[in-house]
Amino acid sequence: MLLKQQGNQLKVLKDIPFKLERDLQKLIEQNLETIFGLVLVKSEFTIKDKRIDTLAYDEQSKAFIIIEYKRDRSSSVIDQGFAYLNLMLNNKAEFILEANEKLKKNIKRNEIDWSQTRVLFIASSFNDNQRIAIDFKDIGIELCEVKRFEDEHIYINFIKNSKGTQSIKTLTEKVPEYNKITKEIKIYTEEEHFEKMSEEMKETYFEFRDAILHLDSNIELLPKKSYIAFKLSTNICDIECQKKQLKIFLNAKWNELDDPKHLFKNMSEIGHLGNGDYQVQITDTKNLEYILSVIKQLIEK
């Protein structure tokens, strides 16, 4: 139920279903960056007699995302998801060629993080079997519900996996084509980054992590291969964990943020792992509140 406040009264907004799958697809493709932080490569991408509804690219993760729109609430998201993952991982060159042509880039094969490849299913709703089917800690398949209501309201619900779920590898190791995919697709964890840090730096990281998450209840923590991202619609900041220090990157162009103490370094012309031009290296929590004040500027933009 979606409600709208009118004075002291609440009005129940009427659900307006998408008449055509194409209507939902058009809405998503025109708002890929706003909703998911992705760029559109191609709509209706055909390869090997298979049609992909939407092919997108995640510039932050350096990975391709396949988006499919579902109307059938009884079909298997696992079988279809693995089929698309297999299609991509077996035809990497074609996907890179398409991205380079459409995005006017010169992406090299080794620049893509294929382990971060994902299939995203979008529908007005998913049944319990479909939700349970993707409830693994290391599966490259995601679900998102999108509903349209009157007064031009759109409701988006990202379906999260429950914490502590089992590995998909326990089910796919006896299926060769699935086992190959799960060996290449990788879901990174926060704990893997902890292995790099001293006990002192772990404590410092926890202080910064918790403080950043408390800035906005919608901030999502997403461990990546080289850093830990803190995301709203896009990454607001990334933390690269090292043994004796943390590198915090703010996702903004240089001179977009106010940094009166000049604590941050300009990384716009220096290669780095995190997103954005702002970097600060820390070994303790001495400047925690100040760094948070700069991060807040990204949230309030």
The full set of domain ranges for the chain reads: 3-184, 190-300
Contacts of 42 (CB under 8 A, 6+ apart): 54, 55, 98, 102
Contact assessment for residue 161 and residue 135, using Cβ atoms and an 8 Å cutoff: yes
Cα separation, 211 vs 292, in Å, equals 8
- Residue 44, token pair as written in the block: 């209706």
The CATH architecture to which 190-300 belongs is: Alpha-Beta Complex (3.90)
Cα separation, 24 vs 19, in Å, equals 9
169: helix, strand or coil: helix
Kindly give the confidence (pLDDT) of every residue in the chain, 301 residues in length, as a single tens digit, with 9 standing for 90 and above: 888 898 899 999 999 998 888 999 999 999 998 888 899 999 999 998 889 999 999 988 889 999 999 877 777 888 899 999 999 999 999 999 999 999 998 998 888 999 889 999 999 999 888 888 888 777 889 999 999 999 889 999 988 877 656 777 666 666 677 677 777 888 888 999 998 899 999 999 999 999 999 999 989 998 988 899 998 877 899 999 999 999 999 999 999 999 999 999 999 888 777 888 999 999 999 999 999 999 999 988 7
SS3 content of the chain, % helix, strand, coil (to 5): 30, 30, 40
- By the 10 Å C-beta count (0-12 exposed, 13-18 middle, 19+ buried), 199 is classed as exposed
Q: What is the pLDDT of residue 264?
A: 96
Phi, psi dihedral angles at 153 (to 5 degrees):
-95, 140
- CATH code, 3-184: 3.40.1350.10
Query: What's the whole-model pTM score?
Result: 0.78
Q: What is the pLDDT of residue 164?
A: 58
